[in-house]
Amino acid sequence: MPCNELLSQPAWELKKDKDSIRIYTRSTEASKFNELKAVFNLRGNFEQLHSIIEDVPRYKDWVYACKTSMLVEKKNNDELVYYSEVSAPWPLSNRDFYSDTRIWMDSAKKQMRISSFNLVNRFKEKEHIVRVPFLKAEWTISTLGPSLMRIEYILDWNPGGNIPAWIANMFSTNAPYQSFSQLQRKMADLNP
């Protein structure tokens, strides 16, 4: 991407700052749905977080509105494909997606990165569930100490269906806040 395109992106705007979790949004030219960013600290280590990310059937224990999730394919220790159905409030239909998730460790930088993107048209759509047409999530996890990490999470998405963008954008900060609050609790249980 040319430098002038990077400069033309709108700045992140803080929308929620609660329990040490900061949620930002910004508009993009590519979509009517805002891009999201969450920044927070997490007790624990890379191995524990890696284990939680790999435990797909338990996403419903911490990922907001996750009705069900299942591992479809484990390509290796650092790449997996999973299916997830997300509950939507009435009168909206639930959403679903298949995600390819990859995890990289960079020992020199003391960082872990997680990248997820939805797989479009690879799996048959289910009746009465709206397939998410676009989803891309990037995690950058940095070590702050022996048992403390800093997470920066960026989500670019389109929920699909007929949800007006202004409604989706208005409520979009709740899902990452709820998910990451639950993730903090889950990691705190592993690191009393």
- Residue ranges of the domains in the chain? 35-190
pLDDT at 7: 55
Q: Which residue carries 């998410």 as its tokens?
A: 132
pLDDT string in tens for the chain (192-residue length):
455 455 567 899 999 999 999 999 998 888 889 999 999 999 999 999 999 999 999 999 999 999 999 999 999 989 999 999 999 888 889 999 999 999 999 888 899 999 999 998 889 999 999 999 999 999 999 999 889 999 999 999 999 888 878 778 777 888 999 999 999 999 999 887
The whole-model pTM stands at 0.90
Contact 32, 46 (CB under 8 A): no
pLDDT at 79: 96
Closest CA to 61 of 141, 181, 153: 181
What architecture is the 35-190 domain classified under in CATH? 2-Layer Sandwich (3.30)
